[in-house]
Chains A and B, each alone.
Chain A
Amino acid sequence: MSDSTSNIISTILSGLGTTVYATVGGIALTIVLALIAGLAMLSRSRTVRFVSRVYVEGFRGTSEVVQLFWLFFVLPALVGFKLVPLFAGIIVLGLNHGAYGAEIVRGAVQSVPRAQREGAVALSFSPAQRMFRVILPQAVVEMLPPFNNLFIQLMKSTALLYFISAGEITEKGELLRPVYGSQLVLIYGVELLCYLAIAVVITMIMRALERVLARRLGREPPKRERAWARAGAPG
């Protein structure tokens, strides 16, 4: 392997850590926000429903790149301190995809058959017990496939951290471009392979979770499929 080749590969791989951190951090925040906002949208209180609606529509209605620019460039002017790029990135990725995830959570909870709710009432479960012991365990299985798509969407969005110089894969590649102009195929090829690999890992984890949770509920576990065969939609 020639010097420039190994230099290109190692430079791009040095951004892999940041990309993975941003992905994992973003996913963690997404799960928390999606659960809170999704359940809040089903609340009996009008105010709680309204607030969660505003969050969901606000973040779904504006562009992710604009949100990133706003948080990174406007917030310092407003409050006087600047966020570390990676941290700002995780917050925007989480807030944005949490808004999409909230709809997934809401839909999944609503898809649990009425009889399950009635059964829990008949057993005189408290509303919290009803939610956490009966409704959610069944709803979570429904959520996994759409969340898989959402997480891959989020992983792809980490490339936007290029705009705030967080030092992830895309930025590393763009730093290489002026120097190794004749090896663009290699540069972009390595980048694409990195993202593909993360996407396949996410899908594999989600498929495994699906099988485990379905078995726990006493359902037929879904069939094994090719790791990247998914039917999905972007945000």
Chain B
Amino acid sequence: MNWNWDYFWESVPLLLEGLLVTLELTVLGSAVAYVLGLVFALVRRARIPVLSQLMYLFIEVVRSTPLLIQVFIVFYLLWPALGITPSAFVTGVIALGIHYATYTSEVYRAGIEAVPKGQWEAARALSLPRGRVWTGIILPQAVPRVVPALGNYMISMFKETPLLISIGVLDVLNRAKEQGAETFQVIEPYTLAGILFLLISYPSSILVRRLESRVGQL
């Protein structure tokens, strides 16, 4: 074993740059997943013939198959088919966002179902328009309950971003790989990559756990 502390510290700035990319991917991917997940949940709930069933099928297929292949499909199949060439970063955000939207849609569904029946009945009794019922009554009660679950998905997304190395996104892991390829010393950068992940995801999961216990008291 030949651990070199100087080299370890030398790698820090480059990997921190990569970490910034990883965090951007996570935040933007989550934003897509949170919005799209709600859309998926509402489409499934709307019971529109064919469309709702197709939505269900789509969600199950995406949930049961690897994210890595979905990234390849978006990058090599979908973009050329649409005739556009977004960057690897954008591909990552979209693929992560769609993949995790299938999970968050289930979360929203559970949250919506947890809203007491009386709330629906009261809304009907007041003969509020449909849009108002959702935005004014149901969603404000459903969404806060599911915030911890959504937070958990953000953490798992954070830990899955390194697979975007496959299409060349310059995240933490790819920076570590670059560094290692340049100097033929892989121990320090890869170890540092692991430490950086732990430094972010462990405190975040404690935070989410705390949020969970607070929501549990609602």
Contact = CB atoms under 8 A, between A and B. Distances in A.
Nearest to A184: B77
12 contacts: A63-B159, A66-B193, A69-B190, A69-B193, A70-B194, A159-B68, A173-B72, A177-B72, A191-B69, A228-B64, A232-B63, A234-B103
A87 interface: no
A115 interface: no
A63 B159 CA distance: 5
B197 A62 contact: yes
A67 B152 CA distance: 20
A118 interface: no
Contacts of A229: 60
A78 B197 contact: no
A126 to B, nearest CB: 35
A73 interface: yes
The binding surface of chain B is classed by DSSP as: helix
A66 B106 contact: no
B207 interface: no
Contact of B162 (A58, A63, A77, A157): A63
Interface in B161-184: 161-163, 165-166, 172-173, 176-177, 180
A81 to B, nearest CB: 13
A73 B160 contact: no
Interface string B60-80: 110111111100110011000
Interface stretch (A28-36, A39-47, A128-136, A192-200): A192-200
Nearest to A192: B65
Interface in A136-186: 152, 156-160, 162-163, 170, 173-174, 177, 184-185
Interface residues of B, number: 46
Contact of B197 (A63, A74, A77, A158): A63
Contacts of A122: none
B64 A188 contact: no
B85 interface: no
Interface of A: 57-58, 60-67, 69-70, 73-74, 77-79, 152, 156-160, 162-163, 170, 173-174, 177, 184-185, 188, 191-192, 195-196, 199-200, 228-229, 231-235
Nearest to A191: B69
Contact of A64 (B152, B159, B190, B191): B159
Contacts of A157: 66
Is chain A's binding surface mostly helix, strand, loop or mixed?
helix
Contacts of B149: 233
Nearest to A152: B64
A195 B68 contact: no
Most buried by B among A63, A73, A188: A63
A66 to B, nearest CB: 5
B66 A159 contact: yes
A107 B184 CA distance: 44
Contact of A63 (B64, B160, B177): B160
A164 to B, nearest CB: 12
Given A184-B76, A185-B77, A235-B156, A70 B166 contact: no
A63 B152 CA distance: 14
Contact of A62 (B66, B153, B185, B198): B198
Interface string B181-203: 00001110011011001100110
B190 A66 contact: yes
Given A57-B202, A234-B153, A74 B65 contact: no
